[in-house]
Structure 1
Amino acid sequence: MARGGQGLARVAVVVRAGAAPMWWLGVLAAGIGVLVPGVTGRRIGVLAGAALFLVGAAAVAPARRKRYAALARGAVRAGKYDVLQDRAVTVRGWRRGHRWWLLAAFLGALGASLVLPAAGGMLLAGLGTGLRLKAAWLGRRERAGGTLLWVRVDWLDQRGGNPAGKAVKGLRGTGIAAGDAAPGGARRRPAALV
């Protein structure tokens, strides 16, 4: 690769970036929503919310796995001049780009509490859990292959930050120790002193 490499963001970090805000906004919306009796009553709302939590997590976790697997199989080695983006920068960029969607989802979950108390918030928390499970699956693939997966930042910006979207033509790979995020996108823990 010629000088002037690409900025690269970790795939698992991008996937995981929405998990925490969705989870916490969902828990907050469910907590507020349970205070409102709603049309159906609290018990039915919470039971429906539990079912929606499971459905949301089960729908998001396996979504687009074939696409991720195909991109991972075709990953090429990152170039000498490629710039690896820090985990915090990737998370901050994703959350900044999706803040209005997160706010709309939170307000929608609160509004749903007028009918089914807590159900909308529990669904939102389930979607966040599904993203966390997907990132964990990516982490297992990265460990098994001994390669961390990266996506070009400019491709992420084109289609709303989806690391397996149509704008993404391929992934890049580095050794397992590259970057400041562990496989799966979590913060890398400092090595214990012996």
Structure 2
Amino acid sequence: MVGRSASWLATQVLPDPENAIRYLWAKDPEAFNRLLRVLQWTPEEFSRETGIQLPGAEIPGSIPVVRYRIPVIDAGAGPPMWNEGAEYITLHIPELRGKREDELFAVRVKGDSMEPTLRDGDIVVFWTGGAPEPGRIVAVHVHWDGVVVKRLQRYNGSWYLYSDNPDHPPVPLTEHDRILGVAATLVRKM
């Protein structure tokens, strides 16, 4: 690749440069650094010239991007586990209010109870430090059904878990149920 221009690299080697670069950065950071050395660009120059935002290569006025590795559980399963055997997703998203990686977990939505807001297969990232307020989407460990994703509401002094789909009735939040986190972002199934 020595002696080739950046445009040659983008058109001949990387037919989808943005996805290929982000994949390379996530899977093999040393290979990405070698690519930068060949191009004789700093990460900031790379981001400025290509428009591809990389963590640590901030464009003036842009929102910083943070790389998160987040455990994923299926709705109906037990509480999230932070261990190497768990399923994880890696997201490069703008940092929101300083959330730490160990305060985040994700739930894969099962069924149609939260449609049209959430669809079967969507992944919702939850923040354990969020305030469970009325109207917020929450992940709750329900003693009889594992983890569910519902909307929290208060009615006549009691807390209820509501589905956005009217075909599913609300259920009361009991003393045995535990709110695990508040929705922070959605990863939509394509």
Q: Which interval holds the TM-score relative to the shorter structure?
A: under 0.3
TM-score by length of 2: 0.26
* Structure with larger RCO (C-alpha < 8 A, sep 6+): 1
> Whose helix fraction is larger, Structure 1's or Structure 2's?
1
TM-score by length of 1: 0.26
> Whose strand fraction is larger, Structure 1's or Structure 2's?
2
